Amino acid sequence: MNLKIGLLNDSFPPTIDGVANCVKNYADIIAANYGTPTVITPEYPHVIDNYPYEVYRYSSVKFRGKMPYRVGNPFSPASILELKSKGFDILHNHCPFASGLLSHYIAGKKTPIVFTYHTKFDIDIDNFVHNEQFNTISKKFILNNINYSDEVWCVSHGSIESLRNLGYKGNVHVMPNGTDFKKGKSSIGAINDIRRIYKIDETTPVFAFCGRMMWYKNIKLILDGLKLLKNDGYKFKMLFIGGGPDRAAIEQYSNYLGLSAYVEFTGPIYDREKLRAIYSCIDMLLFPSTYDTSGLVVKEAAACDCAALLVKGSCASEGITDGVDGVLIDETPNSLAYTLAKVINTEGLFEKLGKAASNNIYFTWEQAVEKAYERYQNIIDKKSK
């Protein structure tokens, strides 16, 4: 059945983050294979959208802070009326802020809403809203928007706990994310280009972190662990891929630890083929974040025969078997350094783990959206009864 689907999120390219990437892949695949998507997102100055589907941008203002986001105005009567007139069969909301409010106004009483919980908002609010009263108000605001939905999805089983911490008591369906990378390494030429750009030789172990440069991603744990690895006499190359408010402080701390000859900060990389070539070049992804609800980068790396180092019990570690298709560590620098040294010293283990990750973990956006689209129809049928 060809469904008209409104995909709402507070970010979309040119802003790149995990949720924006998710929404874009949903829209691309729905348009190509299933129905008619419309992406509904705040406007950005001077942005020209060139997609095979409509991107409806509503009025916004710049976010007051370091984050490169816009704050949408969900109260515009003109936008609400125009969006209601599109006759959506279902709305899929990916953010409980402006998108959450706007989805309510568009839906009315007949159009079902599904909400995907991508981010541990309980942690975000506790980190950034220190006034107890505003902290409580913020959590209630998010919870009210979530409760308005007809169905709630999480991207991992571990993220359900965060949702419960906000006070959500309803049913939850786990709907995993995928990757847009095709399976297999990049070409030898593309890999050699990366080796040349970042001065990587074939005998030195190469690691990478990919994500926003924020301390809460456990980046200090990576640096402290690499410092111990260096002190034990190991040679390696570490790439930090991404940008963010804490980047300058992270670079300063890396230099303080004496890692400047071992570590390189690439900045954000938007070219997907270049990023794929980097994953194809490195020996292991270091992603010890306990904040992320899923960790798209783990699947991206797996597509390129590259396994990940993750913290035991983290959402990103779901589905990983230690020593088979990845490595799991305690949340300490000692554990990170010890584990990397063990893998380095075991001949062929990087390759073995990477190939197993490709076979066991790889999951495409096509597979993810197919599963979601089937669920859309169930939600619509249930709402109509």
CATH number at residue 89: 3.40.50.2000
**Alpha helices per DSSP H over 34-96:** 77-84
Q: Is 239 helix (H, G, I), strand (E, B) or coil?
A: strand
- Reported as a single tens digit per residue, the pLDDT across 243-267 is 999 999 999 999 999 999 999 999 9
Is 118 part of any domain?
Answer: yes
Regarding whether 195 and 267 lie in a shared domain, the answer is: yes
Regarding whether 78 and 154 lie in a shared domain, the answer is: yes
Rounded mean pLDDT of the chain? 95
State the residue range of the domain holding 50.
Answer: 4-178+365-384
Regarding whether 164 and 127 lie in a shared domain, the answer is: yes
Nearest to residue 56, comparing CAs of 73, 43, 75?
43
Residue 17 pLDDT greater than 90, yes or no:
no
Burial of 338 (0-12, 13-18, 19+ CB in 10 A): middle
pLDDT band at 269 (very low <50, low <70, confident <90, very high): very high
Strands (E), the chain: 4-8, 36-42, 54-58, 60-62, 70-72, 90-93, 113-117, 151-154, 173-174, 206-210, 237-241, 263-267, 284-286, 307-311, 327-329
Question: DSSP string spanning 169-180?
Answer: -S--EE----B-
Is 270 part of any domain?
Answer: yes
Regarding whether 42 and 86 lie in a shared domain, the answer is: yes
Regarding whether 347 and 198 lie in a shared domain, the answer is: yes
Regarding whether 110 and 161 lie in a shared domain, the answer is: yes
Q: Which of 62-76, 130-144, 222-236 has the highest mean pLDDT?
A: 222-236
Q: What distance in Å separates the CA atoms of residue 58 and residue 40, rounded to the nearest whole number?
A: 8
- Reported as a single tens digit per residue, the pLDDT across 282-323 is 999 999 999 999 989 999 999 999 999 999 999 999 999 999
Count how many domains the chain has: 2
Regarding whether 169 and 201 lie in a shared domain, the answer is: no
Is 293 part of any domain?
Answer: yes
Regarding whether 309 and 197 lie in a shared domain, the answer is: yes
Regarding whether 172 and 275 lie in a shared domain, the answer is: no
Predicted local distance difference test score (pLDDT) of residue 67? 60
Is 352 part of any domain?
Answer: yes
pTM for the full predicted model: 0.92
Regarding whether 376 and 342 lie in a shared domain, the answer is: no
Predicted local distance difference test score (pLDDT) of residue 385? 77
